[in-house]
Every structure is written in C-alpha cells, then in structure tokens.
C-alpha cells in the first residue's frame, strides 16, 4: 500500500495503525519526491495553460518550487511542523508568484498545526487541509467558487469526508479532483491575472486547479 493510500485509508477510518501510526518527515519527503517528478514532467504543459489566461509561468513556479523543497529535504528535522515550515520557505524563496505564495501559505498553515509533532496522526490530515484552505483564502482575499486552487482543494476535502470505503478513497478523491475541474471549466475566473480576461476564461481550466489535480494524480499513479 502506498503512503498516500495508507494515509487516506487511515484518515477516513479515523483509526491509526501500528505499523504506521502517522505522517512523518520521512513520509513527507517521499510525498514531495513523487509530486516533484510529476511537476517536472508537466511543467511545460502547465506554462502553456497559464499562458492562455495568465503569464505562462505556473509550470516554472511548480518545477522550481518542488526542486527547492527537494534540495532542503536532507536537512528536514524530525519535527513535521518544522519540516513543513522549511517547505514553505523553500517554495516562496525560489520564485514569487501568486501560486507560490498561496502554496507556501498552505504549507505554513500545515506547519502551524503540526508544530512539535514528529508523527502526525493520519486523522488530523483533514484539519491540516481545512487550515490551509482557510489561510489561503485569507491571503488571496478570495472565496470558494472563484475558480481557483481553493475550489480544487475544497473538492478534495469534501471527497475525503464522503468516501464510502477505505479502499475506494484514493479513487474517490481522484474522481472528485477531476469532477471539480470539469464543473468549473465553464465558469469564469474571478481571481488573479485570469480575472481580467473575464468571460474569455470560460472553457479554460484554471491553472492552479490543474496543479492540484495533477498532484493528486501523481499520488494515485504512485500507488498503482
């Protein structure tokens, strides 16, 4: 069973298991590596998407951001909160862009929630996700429904809550991620650079949403 799948299973069931009672720095590093590979591979595709309704840089942002985190993993402390904080710093300092700042804001929220813990019980993960969404919305002065990264994250959060069984969890999350993208495609972007394009964003996926969707996909693929 992959880390992510195990993570989700446990998150959903609410019970911890003996072998792997929680999310550790080591697991964080593994997760980062899986996601980083996906971001490197998808970088150009993401740039092109951002180019349609933005400045064409979200692929660079993600590639550089994940590389910056990878460069720090060797120094990650056992304290998961501190490790998350280092992730946030690596991500922002590599390159400033809306998404980098939002992503770092989310990581910082997670850092705060997990400060001082060497092992984060899996069932606390939804709380981390909630905290991240909340802080990111504050930072972006944006609301759910604006067709941003937040909507994709909220869909994932919802899927975790509603998944019917442990085994189907990763599928459910993956489907929800895909569905959210689809649902928002024909709505206009109301935040960021894309906002200025107004109705021209209808029919185009929001780049930030696609990033989250790809990250989920990378975890699902890793499990196969």
Ligand X SMILES: Nc1ncnc2c1ncn2[C@@H]1O[C@H](COP(=O)(O)OP(=O)(O)O)[C@@H](O)[C@H]1O
Closest CA to 58 of 5, 99, 22, 2: 99
Taking CB under 5 A as the rule, does residue 218 contact Mg ion?
no
Query: Closest residue to ligand X, Cβ-based?
Result: 208
Helix axes 207-223, 3-13, angle to 10 degrees: 100
Taking CB under 5 A as the rule, does residue 97 contact Mg ion?
yes
Q: Using the minimum distance from each CB to another protein, give the nearer residue, 111 or 177.
A: 111
Taking CB under 8 A as the rule, does residue 55 contact another protein?
yes
Interface residues for ligand X in 132-161 (CB under 6 A)? 140-142, 148-150
| Least distance to another protein, CB of residue 141, Å | 8
**What are the C-alpha distances in Å from 177 to residues 86, 123, 138, 151, 181?**
27, 20, 22, 10, 6
| Least distance to another protein, CB of residue 39, Å | 17
116: left (phi over 0), alpha (psi -120 to 50) or beta: left
DSSP SS3 for 85 = helix
Taking CB under 5 A as the rule, does residue 94 contact Mg ion?
no
Closest CA to 64 of 107, 109, 28, 99: 99
Within the chain, how many helices (H) and strands (E) appear? 9, 2
Taking CB under 6 A as the rule, does residue 105 contact ligand X?
no
**CB contact at 8 A, 186 and 173:** no
- Residues in contact with another protein, counted by CB under 8 A, come to a total of 26
Taking CB under 8 A as the rule, does residue 67 contact another protein?
no
Residue reference for tokens 């309704």? 53
Stretch that binds Mg ion, among 31-39, 53-61, 65-73, 128-136 (CB under 5 A): 53-61
Q: Using the minimum distance from each CB to another protein, give the nearer residue, 93 or 186.
A: 93
**Residue 200, binding choice from another protein, ligand X, Mg ion, none, Cβ under 5 to 8 Å by partner class:** another protein
Taking CB under 8 A as the rule, does residue 197 contact another protein?
yes
The tokens for 159 are 């899927």
Taking CB under 5 A as the rule, does residue 50 contact Mg ion?
yes
Rg of the chain, C-alpha, whole Å? 17
Residues of the shown chain interacting with another protein in the complex, contacts defined by CB under 8 A: 55-57, 60, 89, 92-93, 95-98, 100-102, 104-105, 139-141, 191-193, 195-197, 200
């Amino acid at each position: 069973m992959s880390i992510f799948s195990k993570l989700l299973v446990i998150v959903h069931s609410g019970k911890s298991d003996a072998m792997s009672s929680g999310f550790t720095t080591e697991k964080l590093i593994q997760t980062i590596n899986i996601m980083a590979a996906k971001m490197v591979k998808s970088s150009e595709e993401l740039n092109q998407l951002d180019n349609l309704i933005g400045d064409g840089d979200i692929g660079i942002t993600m590639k550089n951001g994940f590389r910056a985190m990878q460069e720090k993993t060797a120094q990650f402390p056992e304290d998961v909160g501190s490790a998350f904080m280092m992730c946030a710093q690596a991500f922002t300092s590599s390159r400033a862009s809306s998404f980098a700042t939002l992503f770092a804001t989310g990581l910082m929220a997670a850092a705060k929630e997990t400060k001082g813990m060497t092992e984060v019980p899996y069932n606390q993960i939804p709380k981390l996700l909630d905290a991240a969404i909340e802080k990111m919305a504050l930072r972006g002065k944006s609301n759910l429904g604006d067709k941003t990264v937040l909507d994709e994250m909220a869909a994932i959060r919802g899927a975790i809550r509603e998944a019917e069984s442990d085994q189907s969890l990763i599928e459910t999350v993956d489907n929800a991620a895909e569905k959210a993208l689809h649902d928002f495609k024909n709505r206009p972007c109301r935040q960021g650079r894309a906002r200025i394009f107004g109705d021209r964003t209808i029919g185009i996926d929001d780049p930030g949403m696609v990033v989250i969707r790809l990250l989920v996909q990378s975890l699902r693929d890793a499990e196969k």
